Amino acid sequence: MTLKEIASMAGVSVATVSYVLNNTAQVSDETRKKVEKIIKETGYRSNILAKSLRRNESFLVGVIVEDVTVWHTAYIIDGINEIAEARGYNTILSNLRLLNKIESQFDHISNYQKDIDKALDVMIGMQVDGIIYVGMHDRKISHILGNIKKPVVYCYCYTDGEGSSVRYSNEKTVYHMTKMLIENGHREFGVINGLKESEPAALRYNGFLKALNEAGITMKEENITCGNWKYREGKEAAKKLLNKSDHPTAIVAMNDDMAVGVYDAARELGLKVPDDVSVTGFDNSDIIQYVTPRITTVERPLQEMGYRAMELLLENVSGVSVGDVSITLPCTLIEGESVKKLNQENR
């Protein structure tokens, strides 16, 4: 079925059918409904690739994700697609499925360069106007996509001089979280950090220390622990912190999984949150809905990251913006009931 045949069946010009398909000019409601009815009945599908060759733009954007099962990825993709839909673009998704392949050994991603190159080849063959690369862990990556001569935006990761990027704030967020705890009277802290080699873990810890230093509070070395982002390790780290008479009044867990581990460790030791120990998390993940009192945590702007990544890409595609842009979006502190306000006697 061709445009010419559709036009003949509807008794209109080929140009009118094109206007209806692309919504590029006003057509009367009666004519539009007639053409749309014939298109639906005949099952006509426009040839996107042929159209892209004629117009030198496909209105297609390639989205490469390191792993679609990592929970934040879905929110970012949703944001990308919302802007794409509003701007008349379509997206092609390629899932590299790297989570189970490399787990937390992100330097091993080079072992799967062939998979990345294959995804790129498919997208370039589809004449995409640009590519968004979505990481499964916020970190610096290099030479993943190479010189593909297409606009590129990295989301939930970044690179030097190889494309624009959209990230969220780690250091400032934990800095403000810790200041909130200090303002609530806390002076004895425990911290459960993520993986030692993780950039977000380092940034969050820097923000934590900055707030303590400004307040003149010294962090005890024995109260610095590592939970590797996981519930079980977070629980074991919390037991070490809480199983002593002079345990911290507040524990800053650098993600929600580890914060839930603190809850369970406290319960097993006969302690209550927040009466005996205050707890904070990070991520506002689904796991926190299963614990009470509600955890004070942080919400990352995941969907907005998708919005901004797509907007940046389209600005580059259209020529509105030229060159690499780095955006770091603020997070939102969500105050639950897991932080106790201490008076002078409690300190």
Divide the 347 residues of the chain into consecutive groups of 10 and give the mean pLDDT of each group.
76 78 74 81 63 61 96 96 94 95 86 93 92 95 86 94 92 97 97 94 97 96 95 97 95 97 97 97 94 96 97 90 88 97 68
Distance CA(53)–CA(57), nearest Å, equals 7
* Helices within 56-112 (DSSP H only): 71-86, 99-102
pLDDT value of position 81:
97
Cβ–Cβ contacts within 10 Å for residue 336, how many?
Answer: 19
- For β-strands 332-334 and 297-299, DSSP reports them as antiparallel
CA-based torsion, 104, 109, 115, 117: positive or negative: positive
Q: 197: closest CA among 229, 157, 173, 172?
A: 229
Question: What's the predicted TM-score (pTM) here?
Answer: 0.83
Q: 177: closest CA among 216, 209, 223?
A: 209
pLDDT value of position 17:
72
Distance CA(276)–CA(262), nearest Å, equals 12
Helix (H), strand (E) at residue 122: helix 113-125
CA atoms within 13 A on the CB side of 134: 32
pLDDT value of position 37:
83
All domains in the chain, ordered by first residue: 3-46 (no CATH), 55-168+301-331 (3.40.50.2300), 171-299+334-346 (3.40.50.2300)
pLDDT value of position 106:
84
pLDDT value of position 42:
78
